């Protein structure tokens, strides 16, 4: 058996920032610390923080007045921020800057009178937060076929935005259909799909040509991890989305396969290495790392924490 370790894989800059934000907040303020929705969509990360005293909530009203509340990497609607202020919560914003970019684009288009088609998945935390920036302006589009049913005409001012964790191929199909049907539609000057999502998809797309099976490390509610598994299957390669080595089934293998292993942007490297060791132990697998692209993106802590952690006498962030 041969293992091809896809690189880049695993944590992106936004996930690293969100995790470091929660770690720092726990160190500064103690526990319990409340987090609106999961800090990132990964079971291992969430379970770890629960053990450390974080409390994950789906309603701001469930947070005691005056407590510390952290907004997750996926972003929140203005209404959530308003309720947090009403309850005198100490809010810390760990929204990924690439999601914030989409929020600002949404506000800009809504103010200029555009109807906005958001390409994304209904119910995803990021989609809820983005549509909450201008609820009356948005229409959610999940498939290219839905474009044909949109009730707009040639005189309507239209714009599109995308969830940051989509399949690049799926998003392109929908955007192309929108442009065919509505030549007047406008979009952001740069892709909304984040660099890490694109890089991980590119790695899987290239390595799948050499693979018999693909293992994607990530949780079932992780959109970008789901897309990696789908991308492999679309190329006729058996693919499994798993949270860790405990979910691997020996019957998936005969022992002479080439196995590509990758990880979604919220999956820890430790679970990748656990799977590598599982295959090494049972199938005497060799490992080769295949690097498709280097990543050097870094996002600083939110300003609320940069100020709190600045050394005495240093300039405030």
C-alpha closest to that of 60 among 90, 30, 40:
90
Q: What are the chain's domains?
A: 2-11+195-291 (3.40.1010.20), 13-95+299-309 (3.40.50.11270), 98-181 (3.40.1010.20)
Provide CB contacts within 8 A for 255, sequence distance 6+. Answer: 1, 283
CB 39 within 8 A of CB 73: yes
d(CA 195, CA 290): 18
SS3 readout for the chain:
CEEEEEECCCCCHHHHHHHHHHHHHHHHHCCCEEEECCCCCCHHHHHHHHHHCEEEECCHHHCCCCCEEEECCCCCCHHHHHHHHHCCCEEEECCCHHHHHHHHHHHHHHHCCCEEEEECCCCCHHHHHHHCCCHHHEEEECCHHHHCCCCCCCCCCEEEEECCCCCHHHHHHHHHHHHHHCCCCECCCCCCCCHHHHHHHHHHHHHHHHCCEEEEECCCCCHHHHHHHHHHHHCCCEEEEECCHHHCCHHHCCCCCEEEEEECCCCCHHHHHHHHHHHHHHHCCEEEEEECCCCCCCCCCCHHHHHHHCCCCCCCC
For residue 203 the two structure tokens come to 């790695």
For residue 70 the two structure tokens come to 């952290």
pLDDT at 253: 97
d(CA 78, CA 286): 50
pTM, rounded to two decimals = 0.91
- Over the Cα atoms of the chain, what is R_g? 21
pLDDT at 315: 45
Q: Is 66 left (phi over 0), alpha (psi -120 to 50) or beta?
A: left
C-alpha closest to that of 221 among 121, 141, 130:
121
C-alpha closest to that of 73 among 42, 108, 50:
42
Q: HSE-up of 27 (CA within 13 Å, CB side)?
A: 9
Residues of the chain with pLDDT under 50: 312-317
- The span from the first CA to the last CA of the chain, in angstroms, equals 51
pLDDT at 189: 82
Note if 126 is an active site residue: yes
d(CA 71, CA 242): 26
- Of the candidates 20, 52, 61, 126, the residue annotated as catalytic is 126
C-alpha closest to that of 233 among 175, 187, 283, 169:
169
């Amino acid at each position: 058996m041969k293992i091809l370790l896809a690189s880049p894989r695993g944590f992106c800059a936004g996930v690293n920032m969100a995790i470091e934000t929660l770690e720092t907040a726990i160190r500064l303020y103690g526990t319990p610390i409340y987090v609106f929705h999961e800090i990132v969509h990964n079971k291992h990360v969430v379970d770890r923080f629960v053990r450390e005293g974080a409390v994950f909530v789906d309603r701001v009203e469930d947070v005691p007045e005056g407590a510390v509340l952290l907004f997750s990497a996926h972003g929140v609607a203005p209404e959530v921020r308003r309720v947090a202020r009403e309850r005198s919560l100490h809010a810390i914003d760990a929204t990924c800057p690439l999601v914030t970019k989409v929020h600002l684009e949404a506000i800009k288009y809504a103010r200029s009178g555009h109807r906005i088609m958001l390409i994304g998945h209904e119910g995803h935390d990021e989609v809820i937060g983005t549509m909450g920036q201008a609820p009356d302006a948005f229409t959610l589009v999940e498939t290219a076929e839905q474009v044909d049913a949109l009730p707009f005409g040639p005189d309507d001012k239209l714009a599109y935005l995308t969830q940051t964790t989509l399949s690049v191929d799926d998003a392109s199909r929908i955007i192309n259909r929108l442009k065919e049907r509505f030549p007047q539609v406008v979009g952001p000057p740069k892709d909304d799909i984040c660099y890490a999502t694109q890089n991980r998809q590119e790695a899987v797309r290239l390595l799948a040509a050499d693979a018999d099976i693909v293992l994607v490390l990530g949780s079932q509610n992780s959109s970008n991890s789901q897309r990696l598994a789908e991308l492999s299957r679309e190329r006729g390669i058996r693919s499994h989305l798993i949270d860790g080595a405990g979910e691997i089934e020996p019957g998936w293998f005969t022992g002479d396969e080439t196995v590509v292993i990758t990880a979604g942007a919220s999956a820890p490297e430790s679970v990748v290495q656990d799977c590598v060791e599982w295959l090494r132990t049972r199938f005497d697998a060799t490992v080769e790392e295949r690097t498709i692209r280097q990543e050097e993106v870094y996002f600083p802590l939110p300003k609320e924490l940069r100020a709190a952690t600045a050394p005495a006498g240093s300039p405030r962030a």
